[in-house]
Amino acid sequence: MKQPSKKSRKPLVLVPACNRMMGDHPFQMAGKKYIDAVRLAGCLPLIVPSSSADEVDELLDHAEGVFLTGSKSNVHASHYGETTRDESLPQDRVRDDWVLPLIPKAIARGLPILGICRGFQEANVALGGSLHQAVQEQPGLADHRAGPGTPDEQYAFAHEVDVQADGLLAGLLDAPRIRVNSLHGQGIKRLAEGLRIEAKADDGLVEAFSVEGARGFALFVQWHPEWQAASNPVSQRILAAFGRACMDYQGRDPET
Ligand SMILES: N[C@@H](CCC(=O)NCCCC(=O)O)C(=O)O
């Protein structure tokens, strides 16, 4: 059977799975809202089960984009030279071990990459930055965690962020301040070198960054644009830009 040409199919976007126990058994999974967001971007989501650093290049060879989801799990503190302060909080060492090396490789290829919440934190760590393990305990910083409640309550707008002028995000939006939801206990402590701040909260916490001089689309946000994205103009613009970048990448000569 004739294989469809790359340009006649939707761009394939890798979505690294989270590793969670369900009862006594380990599962690998991704939240439906993230998968729906990749589809809304006009791309074909492919959930990737736990992989390994030595498989990353082969995985990226088959992809036209990478979408890093949020997760209740934290990036292990050893990846940024610290010890874990609260062992009771969930971790996902399996995801750490193959997604952290994937991020710089995807960026180096110019492969479009969009990271959300944990995905935002993973990218900062993967590129040499560090995290506050408990933002709410830092003097001068607010509590960015979602309280208890229904999903609609937890993912409701929680605060505004200042979109930094003349950046990638500013170019996508037509508002200098936007309302965002907030469901994170960790956050940027030291921003990795070579990253450009794209948005900041009023307490000064970095809420979005891009990669200076990146060959392709590379945007990472601390909030959740995937939440009810179809009815959120800011989310729609972010996802549309990511999708366009994946389509452009797909249409590029593989040698470029
Ligand atoms: N665990 C980190 C990252 C938080 C995060 O990704 N929250 C989203 C969880 C649920 C979802 O997938 O939407 C932190 O606490 O900072």
Q: Could you tell me if residue 116 is inside a domain? A: yes
The answer to whether the beta carbons of residues 13 and 69 sit under 8 Å apart is: no
CA of 75 to the centre of ligand 1 (A): 10
Token pair of 134 as six digits: 């408990």
CB of 163 closer than 6 angstroms to any ligand 1 atom: no
What lies within 8 Å, CB to CB, of 25 at 6+ separation is none
pLDDT in tens, the chain (256 residues): 656 666 579 999 999 999 999 999 999 999 999 999 999 999 999 999 999 999 999 999 999 999 999 999 999 999 999 999 999 999 999 999 999 999 999 999 999 999 999 999 999 999 999 999 999 999 999 999 998 999 999 999 999 999 999 999 999 998 999 999 999 999 999 999 999 999 999 999 999 999 999 999 999 999 999 999 999 999 999 999 999 999 999 986 545 4
The answer to whether the beta carbons of residues 221 and 122 sit under 8 Å apart is: no
CA of 2 to the centre of ligand 1 (A): 42
pLDDT tens-digit profile of 29-42? 999 999 999 999 99
Q: Could you tell me if residue 18 is inside a domain? A: yes
The answer to whether the beta carbons of residues 36 and 239 sit under 8 Å apart is: no
Q: Containing domain of residue 164, as a range?
A: 6-250
Q: Could you tell me if residue 1 is inside a domain? A: no
Question: Domain total for the chain?
Answer: 1
> What's the pLDDT score for residue 4?
60
Q: Could you tell me if residue 159 is inside a domain? A: yes
Q: Which of 76, 117, 132, 198 is catalytic?
A: 117
Q: Could you tell me if residue 16 is inside a domain? A: yes
> What's the pLDDT score for residue 256?
45
**Distance of CA 118 to CAs 2, 101, 224, Å?**
40, 15, 10
pTM over 0.80: yes
Q: Could you tell me if residue 256 is inside a domain? A: no
Q: Could you tell me if residue 255 is inside a domain? A: no
* Alpha carbon distance 180, 223 (integer Å): 6
CATH number at residue 86: 3.40.50.880
Continuous segment of H or E residues that includes residue 199: strand 195-201
CA of 13 to the centre of ligand 1 (A): 21
CB of 129 closer than 6 angstroms to any ligand 1 atom: no
